[in-house]
Amino acid sequence: MAKVTYTALLESGEDGIGVSFPDLPGCVSWGVDAGEAVRNAEEALAFHLEGMAEDGEEIPDPTHLGVLIEAAYADRGQPVTYAAITVEAPPSGERVNVYLSRALLRSIDNYCAEFGVNRSAFFAAAAKAQLRALRPLKAAADAQRQIVATRVEEALAGLEPGKAHEVSKAVAAALIPTKHG
């Protein structure tokens, strides 16, 4: 899996060091010292990005450190401490619209509430399960198509060279459709 690095802003306080991510409002952490603050920031960043991905939110690209330094210095008038925090990047996604009956959507929402998952996670898991289930069927259909094509080709052996193969493929495709209408 790819890694992504975001810049964290470290601020000393009375009780320890607070950590925030300028690119990710709401992604914060804390530690009693710099080492703990950075370790906790890694965990906070990973969970925050994972949550954004599961919720279908767009994950922003990290802002260049130079831009952040200029902005912080202009706001505070003094140097600021930064840390580069690197974590596994969540898989990218794309928002889609689907039409479902209200009854089906209620059933999905009830399931999600019962098992503590969101709709995006539910749909992703359902799609993956469906694709896994269909792979053996596609392989079997491909094998059947090849058998039919070979038998038809043998039966058409007396035709003009080059034509028998084209005819056998067309017949096999007609006998064993690849898509359901």
- More confident call, 165 vs 45: 45
**Tell me, what's the pLDDT at 110?**
93
Quickly state the pLDDT bin for 179 (edges 50, 70, 90): low
Q: How far is CA 50 from CA 135, 138, 148, in A?
A: 28, 33, 48
pLDDT band at 118; cut points 50, 70, 90: confident
Average pLDDT over residues 55-60: 80
On the 0-12 / 13-18 / 19+ scale of CB atoms within 10 A, 138 is exposed
Q: Are 85 and 48 spatial neighbours (Cβ–Cβ below 8 Å)? A: no
- For residue 169, tell me if it sits in a domain: yes
Last residue of a domain, one of 56, 88, 120: 88
pLDDT surpassing 60 at residue 78: no
Domain shared by 84 and 110, yes or no: no
151 and 125 in a common domain: yes
User: Residue 160: is it exposed, middle or buried by C-beta count within 10 angstroms (0-12/13-18/19+)?
Assistant: exposed
Between these two residues, 13 and 136, which has the higher pLDDT value? 13
pLDDT band at 122 (very low <50, low <70, confident <90, very high): confident
Q: Is position 56 within any domain? A: yes
Whether the per-residue pLDDT at 42 is higher than 90: the answer is yes
| Residue at 160 is within a domain | yes
Distance CA 155, CA 165 (A): 11
Query: Looking at the domain assignment, is residue 43 inside a domain?
Result: yes
pLDDT at 95: 74
Range of the domain at 13: 3-88
Q: Are 2 and 87 in contact (CB under 8 A)?
A: no
**Whether residues 16 and 81 fall in one domain:** yes
Q: What is the mean pLDDT of the chain?
A: 79
pLDDT at position 181, please? 41
User: Does 94 map to a domain?
Assistant: no
Number of domains in the chain: 2
Residue 115 CB: number of other CB atoms within 10 A?
9
Query: Per-residue pLDDT averaged across 137-146, rounded?
Result: 69
Lowest mean pLDDT among 74-78, 81-85, 106-110, 140-144: 74-78
